[in-house]
Chain A
Amino acid sequence: MSKDVTNILLVGVGGQGTLLASEILSEAFMLAGFDVKKSEIHGMSQRGGSVVSHVRFGDKVYSPVVPEGEGDILFGFELLETYRYLSLLRPGAKVIANNFRILPPSVLLGKELYPEGLADKIASRFPGFLLVDGLELATRAGNPRAANTVLLGAVASRLDIQENHWLSAIEKMVPARALEINIKAFQMGRAL
Chain B
Amino acid sequence: MKEILSGNEAIARGAFEAGVKVASAYPGTPSTEILENVRNYTSIDSSWAPNEKVALEVAIGASFGGARALACMKHVGVNVAADPLFTVSYTGVGGGLVLVVADDPEMHSSQNEQDSRNYAKFVKVPMLEPADSQECKDFTRLAFEISEQFDTPVMLRSCTRISHGKSVVELAEPVSGLPEPKLVKNPQKLVMLPGNARIRHPLVEERIVKLAEYANSLGINRLEYRSLETGIICTGVTYQYVREAFPDASTLKLGMIYPLPADMIREFSEKLTTLFVVEELDPFIEEQILALSIQVTGKKIISLCGELSPERIRNSFANAGLIKPLEVAEHVVEKLPSRPPNMCPGCPHRGVFYLLNRLKAYVTGDIGCYTLGAMQPLNAMDTCVCMGASISNASGIVRALPPEEQSRVVAVIGDSTFLHTGVNSLMEMAYNMAPATVIILDNRITAMTGRQENPSSGYTLAGIEAPVVDIPNLCRSLGIKNLQIVDPYDLPTTRRVLEEEMARPEPSVIITNRPCCLIKDECRFQKGKPLSVDQDICTGCKACLGIGCPAIEWQPDESGRKGKAWIDTQLCTGCTVCQQLCKFNAIN
Q: Which residues of A contact B (CB under 8 A)?
A: 1-2, 13-14, 23, 26-27, 30, 35-50, 61-65, 67-69, 80-81, 83-84, 87, 91, 103-110, 112, 114-115
Contact = CB atoms under 8 A, between A and B. Distances in A.
20 contacts: A1-B247, A13-B339, A30-B2, A35-B167, A36-B4, A37-B165, A37-B166, A37-B167, A38-B165, A39-B164, A43-B448, A43-B449, A49-B339, A49-B341, A64-B132, A67-B310, A69-B311, A91-B329, A105-B550, A110-B556
Given A35-B167, A106-B337, 19 more contacts: A2-B247, A26-B166, A30-B168, A40-B164, A41-B160, A45-B108, A46-B341, A48-B339, A48-B341, A50-B339, A63-B309, A63-B310, A64-B132, A64-B167, A67-B244, A69-B311, A105-B550, A108-B554, A110-B556
B523 interface: no
Contacts of A67: 244, 309-311
Interface stretch (B148-156, B369-377, B526-534): B369-377
The 4 nearest A-B residue pairs measured at CB: A43-B109, A110-B554, A43-B29, A47-B341
Nearest to B540: A110
A84 B552 contact: no
Nearest to B167: A37
Contact of A41 (B108, B241, B309, B311): B108
B550 A49 contact: no
Interface in B509-559: 542, 545, 548, 550, 552-554, 556
Contacts of A27: 4
A48 B109 contact: no
Given A42-B29, A109-B545, A109-B554, A48 B337 contact: no
- Chain B interface bracket (under 10, 10 to 19, 20 to 34, 35 or more): 35 or more
Given A64-B240, A84-B336, A41 B164 contact: yes
A107 B337 CA distance: 7
Contacts of A37: 132, 165-167
A43 B553 CA distance: 25
Nearest to B307: A65
Given A41-B108, A64-B161, A67-B310, A35 B168 contact: yes
A109 B343 contact: no
A47 B241 contact: no
A16 to B, nearest CB: 12
Contacts of A81: 339
Contacts of A83: 336
Given A47-B344, A91-B329, A104 B240 contact: no
A40 B7 CA distance: 12
A108 B165 contact: no
B114 interface: no
Given A14-B341, A45-B341, A67-B309, A110 B545 contact: yes
Contacts of B168: 30, 35-36
A33 to B, nearest CB: 10
A106 B331 contact: no
B566 to A, nearest CB: 10
A103 B111 CA distance: 28
B545 A108 contact: yes
A55 B128 CA distance: 26
A84 B449 CA distance: 26
Given A43-B448, A67-B311, A104 B30 contact: no
Contacts of B344: 47-48
B342 A48 contact: yes
Contacts of A49: 339-342
A115 to B, nearest CB: 6
A87 B334 CA distance: 11
Given A41-B160, A47-B343, A64-B237, A108 B553 contact: yes
B109 A62 contact: no
B243 to A, nearest CB: 4
B338 interface: yes
Contacts of B396: none
B575 to A, nearest CB: 16
Contacts of B338: 50, 104, 106
Contact of B161 (A26, A39, A45, A69): A39
Contacts of A14: 341
Contact of A30 (B4, B337, B343, B377): B4
Nearest to A64: B165
Contacts of B29: 42-44
Nearest to A22: B166
A43 B108 contact: yes
Given A62-B244, A65-B161, A107-B337, A44 B550 contact: no
B241 A62 contact: yes
Nearest to B162: A64
B450 interface: yes
Contacts of A84: 336
In this complex, the member of A2, A48, A84 whose beta carbon has the largest number of chain B beta carbons within 10 angstroms is A48
A158 to B, nearest CB: 21
Nearest to A106: B337
Given A38-B165, A106-B338, A109-B377, A48 B244 contact: no
Interface in B330-373: 331, 336-344, 369, 372
B472 interface: no
B563 interface: yes
Nearest to B3: A30
Contacts of B556: 110
A80 B338 CA distance: 10
In this complex, the member of B132, B241, B337, B338 whose beta carbon has the largest number of chain A beta carbons within 10 angstroms is B337
Contact of A105 (B243, B311, B339, B369): B339
A147 B553 CA distance: 23
Contact of A48 (B243, B310, B545, B550): B550
B4 A105 contact: no
Contacts of B164: 39-42
In this complex, the member of B165, B166, B339 whose beta carbon has the largest number of chain A beta carbons within 10 angstroms is B339
Contacts of A13: 339
Nearest to B33: A42
Contacts of A45: 108-109, 341
B142 to A, nearest CB: 22
A110 B369 CA distance: 24
A137 B14 CA distance: 43
